[in-house]
Copies of this chain bind each other. A is one copy, B any other.
């Protein structure tokens, strides 16, 4: 049902996972499989009337810890391998209508601990080379279940994007003796125009080279390789930074901003620790309240992103949202509804 096929031209593995075609697709709210199981109601993934945070194996995984044999035979030029790995689902809350932006910071703080634990456990599993924590949010990025949740993929290889980052960081370390992201962040903080939010241990910036108009990176201000390596006080500050960015996003246009959120962390091989600098990247597809940025010929064909905006202006917009919300408690939702794709 699932296998890895090698693209010898781009030197990348592609996951072929035909069973996912039948995965649960936008069920009505009363049939949400991620809500608690109500007394007398249909059984959901969570056989309990309440929960805080829950983690379980994805029912339609791209990677499994006991993968089946591939359906096709590969060749030396185009090999195939079983899709060994793990896919987990992380439920942030049992409240179907909540989100990172509406959760109390205390809950986000708990979520940081859960992420750190799962990252550590999955990294320790046999055959795993890279663990990626991420969240897809909103119809516009293809989300099929709207209950607030994220995912974790444990890969049997270091994927191309983190690998490119690690390779470049290694070259920079060799040539300068410093961490590349430490240098990039120092320039962003010195310039200041693209900084959206900062506390003692984390900064949120629209990168100088943003590919999406409202792209934001939350970056650890000291060199730390992973969420698991964060001491307790830094976990609080990470929760505050996540809350600030999530709330700014949802206040920007007055609706739940769709996004892809991806954590960049150290692979399991400790050789990469000096060049792994923990950060979280957010890619919202909106370029305005009612227009999306699509990936088309230039992005998909050439690999060149066209950003129809200046990062300095978009950072100013988001910074204004952060300022406006500052001091306001993170109360219950007063908006919601998602942008159509």
Contact = CB atoms under 8 A, between A and B. Distances in A.
B302 A16 contact: no
29 contacts: A7-B211, A8-B209, A9-B168, A9-B180, A10-B168, A12-B303, A12-B304, A14-B306, A14-B307, A15-B298, A15-B306, A16-B307, A17-B306, A17-B308, A18-B313, A62-B306, A77-B184, A78-B184, A130-B302, A132-B302, A134-B298, A142-B293, A142-B296, A153-B297, A159-B302, A159-B303, A164-B303, A260-B296, A260-B300
Given A142-B292, A211-B14, A281 B301 contact: yes
5 closest A-B pairs by beta carbon, nearest first, are A142-B294, A262-B301, A134-B297, A160-B303, A159-B302
Contacts of A210: 14
Q: How many copies does the complex hold?
A: 2
Point out which of A135, A159, A281, A312 has the most chain B C-beta atoms below 10 A from its C-beta: A159
Given A9-B180, A155-B302, A295-B295, A18 B162 contact: no
Interface stretch (A196-204, A238-246, A283-291): A283-291
Contact of A296 (B25, B136, B169, B309): B136
Nearest to A301: B262
B153 A298 contact: yes
Nearest to A304: B159
A16 B184 contact: no
Interface in A128-173: 130, 132, 134-136, 141-143, 151, 153, 155, 159-162, 164-165, 168-169, 172
Contacts of A295: 141-142, 295
A187 B300 contact: no
A126 interface: no
A111 interface: no
Contacts of A287: 21
Interface string A1-43: 0000111111111111110110001000000000000000000
Contacts of A18: 308-310, 313
A181 interface: yes
A293 B144 CA distance: 11
Interface in A188-230: 207-211
Contact of A20 (B21, B135, B283, B306): B306
A82 interface: no
A214 to B, nearest CB: 13
A71 B75 CA distance: 51
A135 B297 CA distance: 7
